[in-house]
Amino acid sequence: MGVHLRYLLVASLVLCSIAVVAAAKTVDPYKVLGVDKKASQRDIQKAFHKLSLKYHPDKNKGKGAQEKFEEINNAYEILSDEEKRKNYDLYGDEKGDPGFGGGNFGNHEGYTYFTGGGPKTSYFTSGDGWQTMGGGQGNTKSFSFSFGGNPGGSGGSPFGFDLGDVFSNFFGGGSMGGSQHGGSTGSARANTGASGQYSSTVRIHDVTTQVFNKEIADQGITWLLLFYTPQSKDQFVLESVMQDVANSLDGAVRAGKINCDKEKALCKKAGVSIGKSARLFIYSYATAEKGSLHEYSGEHDAKSLKTFSQEHLPRFSKRVDISQFSFPSNVLPNLPQVLLLSTKKDTPVMWRAVSGMFRNRLLFYDAEVHDVSLPLLKRLGVKNLPALIAQTVDGDMLLLKDGISVKDLRSGIRELKTLLDSFEKKNKKLASNQAKNKKPSKTSQQEEKKVPLLTASNFEEICGEKTSVCIIGVFGSNKAKGQLEAILSEISKKTLIRGPNYNTGNAISYSLLDGKKQSSFLSSFGESGFKSSDKLLIAYKPRRGRFAIYKDEVTLEEAEIFVGSVLNGDVQLTGTKQKPVLR
């Protein structure tokens, strides 16, 4: 009799639980957001942003605000996804399953809403066969039975578990709460969705001056930064959109927020003032080697912000034609070079991201490839794409890896970083060995570094008729002088076959010229005398009386290209107005 009584008690418990679940009301996502079933995505976004701002836990401390905020997020998760919305409209269930097996339910004040195991849900399955679900941002929890069985299978219960297994597990040899239940996995799954795929929520960092200087400034990583004060409008809307994009571009973009009431010095240094509304910026390296802030002024939706963010990812990789490609020799600075081969029409996002992280450490190229039978790839042993090939500082070309397999953006970036870190270490050893094997004397080192100042007394010796090409760095300030001296010194040592020898009047010479003091000399090359230029290069051929001038931003790379083009005859030269003379 005791056994039968226990059977009846457990059966009653199970059936009552089923009845509660079946009787619970499902929250209609359209009603939660207050939109019509024919609402456009734009209308849904507007409604979501308005309600999320109103009920955000940081803004609204009222009773029930937390639960309301969770409902709003859950409703938006369904209606913003085309497939989930379609399934809900057809079946009343975002997974397309009108039965109980389609997802998990959370109970809030008599309402049951469907979560579907989304990105913000964690499951922990214990050995006693109970499954706990922590959803969203609050402390609300719901419980569902997990007694094994074969849901949907032959002879299985329509409720997702086998009643026979329930009783055999409870009474077959263990006590309730024990660890002998056949349906238990005894394992924990954190941050997984209904499909079992891993997902995560990227953290939005609270950025202080210390964090900015240590983790953001010139670190080669792209950041979305929200500047705000506690009184700012649109803070929570922008934060919500920024969170979505940071999740989508996880690994390539990080996210942070700066409270300008607390970090006044940081906001002032960044040149950001906050009026009534919060302001969103991206700290990027899209156009320069140093990071800079670019303000986002587009629509407050994830799609627009994601496009903006991708446009501002680093662009340090040069797109090349693989059928004609070979790694450039004698590049400056003398860095290892890497080339990514993929089927992508444009430079892959993950490659742009790592190019920022390794800028000034590696030289980056990428190419679109569909045929691995090309001679270069065949010689290197490339059989599958994507592939990563490289050239060391001593000129050896090798395959780092082919058939690179990545599950998502974050894992792809991690894989590429691992490969590049290993390759960089190898090159440091090679460079160290080269330095040991070749130790020039102090005298020769000093001579190589010296770039003379062009004066009336040494003009004939440096830029006279015996010199084929005279490269003159014209400066307007001491800072420009130092920069030009370093650039011309590097070019003279590494780029050209014949280095400078100023005493013997060799074919190529390098020198500096004070533009402010020698304006009459410069007027031989142009009407203005280049008075407004702080830094420029002149390539002068004394024998022919012809010249070329580079007036854009003078960097090491651009100076090398200019000098090389002059020497190879790729630059059109102009005749001087008169023979330049120094006084």
CB-based burial label for 504 (10 Å; 0-12, 13-18, 19+): exposed
Q: Are residues 143 and 238 in the same domain?
A: no
Is residue 576 within 8 Å of 548, Cβ to Cβ? no
Provide the CATH number for the domain around residue 292. 3.40.30.10
Q: What is the mean pLDDT of residues 59-87?
A: 85
Which residues have a Cβ under 8 Å from the Cβ of 306 and sit 6 or more positions away?
A: 244, 245, 248, 249
The residue among 378, 402, 436 that closes a domain is 436
Q: Which of 476, 494, 490 is nearest to 556 (CA)?
A: 490
The answer to whether position 71 is within a domain reads: yes
Q: Are residues 94 and 34 in the same domain?
A: yes
Q: Are residues 266 and 292 in the same domain?
A: yes
484-513 pLDDT tens trace: 999 998 888 754 443 333 333 347 889 998
Q: Are residues 417 and 322 in the same domain?
A: yes
The answer to whether position 6 is within a domain reads: no
Alpha-carbon span 166 to 290, nearest angstrom: 64
The answer to whether position 80 is within a domain reads: yes
The residue among 374, 406, 436 that closes a domain is 436
Structure tokens at 6: 């226990």
- In this structure, the chain runs to a length of 583
Neighbours of 503 (CB within 10 A): 9
Q: Are residues 340 and 249 in the same domain?
A: no
Q: How far is CA 306 from the centre of its chain?
A: 11
The answer to whether position 473 is within a domain reads: yes
Q: Are residues 378 and 301 in the same domain?
A: no
532-564 pLDDT tens trace: 778 899 999 988 889 999 888 888 888 888 888
* pLDDT reading at 353 higher than 90: yes
Residue the block writes with tokens 């002879």: 155
The answer to whether position 164 is within a domain reads: no
- Domain range for 561 is 450-575
* pLDDT reading at 116 higher than 80: no
- Name which residue leads in pLDDT, 59 or 207: 207
Q: Are residues 139 and 20 in the same domain?
A: yes
The answer to whether position 196 is within a domain reads: no
The answer to whether position 458 is within a domain reads: yes
Q: Are residues 301 and 376 in the same domain?
A: no
Q: Are residues 229 and 272 in the same domain?
A: yes
Provide the CATH number for the domain around residue 392. 3.40.30
Q: Are residues 142 and 250 in the same domain?
A: no
DSSP per-residue letters across 146-198: ---S-TTSTT--TTSS-HHHHHHHHHSSS-TT-S--TT----EE-SB-TT--B
- Name the pLDDT band for 472 (thresholds 50, 70, 90): very high
Q: pTM for the complete prediction?
A: 0.49
Q: What is the count of structural domains for the chain?
A: 4
Q: Which of 224, 179, 174 is nearest to 202 (CA)?
A: 224
Q: Are residues 429 and 544 in the same domain?
A: no
Sequence letter at residue 208: T
Structure tokens at 69: 């905020």
The answer to whether position 161 is within a domain reads: no
Q: Are residues 127 and 46 in the same domain?
A: yes
What sign results for the dihedral spanned by CA atoms 311, 312, 314, 315? Answer: positive
